[in-house]
A and B are shown apart, each in its own frame.
Chain A
Amino acid sequence: MTTRKLDLQVDRQAIREVLATLQKPGAENEWCVACGAGAASSKLDYPGEIVASLGKQLTEPAVLKDFINQLSDRARLEQDWCVACGAGAAASPLARISDPATLSDAVVDEIAAKLISAVKLG
Chain B
Amino acid sequence: MPQPWQGKGALIDDGPPPPKLDTIHFNATKTCNLGCAFCYDKAIRGKTENLPLDIVEQIAADAAELGARRVILSGGEPMARNDWRDVARIFDMQGMEISLATNGTLITESVAQFLSGLKHVTLSISIDGGREIHDQLRDQQGAYDRTLSGLAHLRAAGVEFDMNATIFKANLADVPQLTKISRDFDSNMRFSLLHPNGRGEAMAAKELSAEQIFELREYCHTMRKLGVKVFINLPPLLQYLDEIIPARGAACGWAVNFCGVLSNGDVTICGVASDEPDLVAGNVKQTRFRDIWSMSPLFRHTRALDTRKIEGICGRCPFNTFCGGACRLSAFREHDNFLAPYALCQKFYDEGYIPEGILDSQPAVAPH
A residues contacting B by CB (< 8 A) are: 1-4, 6, 8-10, 12, 15-16, 18-19, 22-44, 46-48, 51-52, 55, 58-59, 62, 66, 69-70, 73, 96-101, 103, 105, 108-109, 111-112, 115-119, 121-122
Contact = CB atoms under 8 A, between A and B. Distances in A.
Given A29-B246, A36-B124, A37-B99, A119 B228 contact: no
Given A39-B122, A40-B188, A96-B225, A19 B319 contact: yes
Contacts of A121: 173
Contacts of A18: 241
A62 B244 CA distance: 14
B233 A33 contact: yes
The 5 closest A-B pairs by CB, nearest first: A40-B122, A34-B327, A100-B227, A40-B162, A112-B176
B326 A70 contact: no
Given A36-B124, A40-B99, A112-B175, A15 B246 contact: no
Contacts of A98: 227
Given A35-B272, A69-B225, A108-B180, A43 B219 contact: no
Contacts of A22: 244, 246-247, 322
Contacts of A37: 25, 72, 74, 99, 101, 124, 164, 271-272
Contacts of B215: 115-118
Interface string B314-346: 000011011100110110000000000000000
Nearest to B218: A115
Interface string B219-244: 10111011111010111100011111
B196 to A, nearest CB: 10
- Size bracket of the B interface: 35 or more
Contacts of A119: 172-173, 175-176
Contact of A97 (B197, B227, B329): B227
A37 to B, nearest CB: 5
11 contacts: A12-B358, A12-B360, A33-B251, A35-B197, A39-B70, A44-B245, A47-B242, A73-B225, A103-B227, A116-B216, A118-B212
Given A40-B122, A108-B179, 6 more contacts: A25-B248, A26-B22, A31-B233, A37-B101, A37-B271, A73-B226
B226 A100 contact: yes
B356 interface: yes
Contact of A8 (B164, B195, B243, B358): B358
